[in-house]
Amino acid sequence: MSRIIFFLFLFFTYAFSLAPFRVLYAFSNILYYFFYYVYRYRRRVVRANLNLAFPEKDEQEISRISRAFYRHFCDIVVEGVKAFSMTPRESIDRYKILNPEILDRHFENKQSVIVVYGHFNNWEWGSLSGKLQLKHKPVAFYKPLSNKLIDDYIQRTRAKTGTELVSIIHTATTFTTHKNTPAIFVMVADQSPSKIAHAIWVKFLNQDTATLHGPEKYAIKHNIPVYYGKVIKISRGVYNAVLEPLMMDPSASSPGEITQLFMSSLEKQIVEKPEYWLWSHRRWKHKR
């Protein structure tokens, strides 16, 4: 069964590679209708999250944000598949890092950095164009897929662009093995933690929020500077990224400070453009 799923995956990946972006976004429009009106994918979860985050907004505004989120979510789905066939030129044109030079001093000092992202706008394309625009070696942590064939395929395609994909299981050893290589460790860290005992609690979108401890833990342990990856949507399928300093000397930070800085930066973007965050995950399933 896993082979059948893999070959179906390859078929759709190949089909998407042939289709221009205007065709992909036409398909995204169809997906939106299916997810929102027919399948009603996680609509209760989305509404519940929005009501918690924005108690001051009326039902009409919540509905507007919800529909806009599903449109954006479907764009992210097709963009994720298109990522397997994008050329280096397309990657840079559609995902441009505006201030890559901010990391040059770290590279010259043979110092690694951590860049923390949220599930905001497109968080996937950065792994395609990172090596093309930065001097550091990109190392991105991810949760392996259950289908080993698809998982291996994803690792190979990312390796071609210069990004090393590492299972979150090997996070600790990866920081150690790269200690002599100036690497940019990419961590998407706004999801709900599976091990609540290790969570760092912060105030986020009016909620007490359990947050992953990994970025802060390894930043302090290895004293690695931390940046926020601020992704800005310019138009459909075109994004800019800005690297914003969060903590240059983690060893001198107080407990929870780095995590709060990251989540506050993400919150600011969400408040400005709420439809671009991933509202379909159960962000507040854990209570303090």
Is it the case that residue 246 has pLDDT exceeding 80?
yes
Contacts of 130 (CB under 8 A, 6+ apart): 97, 138, 161, 162, 163, 184, 186
Q: How far lies 42's CA from each of 70, 119, 279, in Å?
A: 10, 17, 9
Digit-coded pLDDT (tens) for 157-201:
776 777 888 888 999 999 999 888 899 999 999 999 988 888 999
Is it the case that residue 126 has pLDDT exceeding 80?
yes
Is it the case that residue 51 has pLDDT exceeding 80?
yes
Digit-coded pLDDT (tens) for 136-152:
999 999 887 677 877 68
Residue 140 lies in a domain: yes
Residue 283 lies in a domain: no
Dump the DSSP string for 27-94: HHHHHHHIIIIIS-TTHHHHHHHHHHH-TTS-HHHHHHHHHHHHHHHHHHHHHHHHGGG--HHHHHHH
Residue 288 lies in a domain: no
Euclidean distance between CA atoms 187 and 245, whole angstroms: 15
Digit-coded pLDDT (tens) for 82-115:
988 888 889 999 999 999 999 999 999 999 999 9
Counting beta carbons within 10 angstroms of the beta carbon of residue 194, is it exposed (0 to 12), middle (13 to 18) or buried (19 or more)? exposed
Euclidean distance between CA atoms 61 and 186, whole angstroms: 34
The boundaries of the domain holding residue 250 are 2-276
Residue 255 lies in a domain: yes
Residue 131 lies in a domain: yes
Span 19-41, mean pLDDT?
94
Residue 282 lies in a domain: no
Residue 68 lies in a domain: yes
Domain count, the chain: 1
Counting beta carbons within 10 angstroms of the beta carbon of residue 7, is it exposed (0 to 12), middle (13 to 18) or buried (19 or more)? exposed
Span 224-241, mean pLDDT?
97
Residue 281 lies in a domain: no
Q: Annotate 162-175 with b (16+ C-beta within 10 A) or e (fewer).
A: bbbbbeeeebeebb
pLDDT at 159: 63
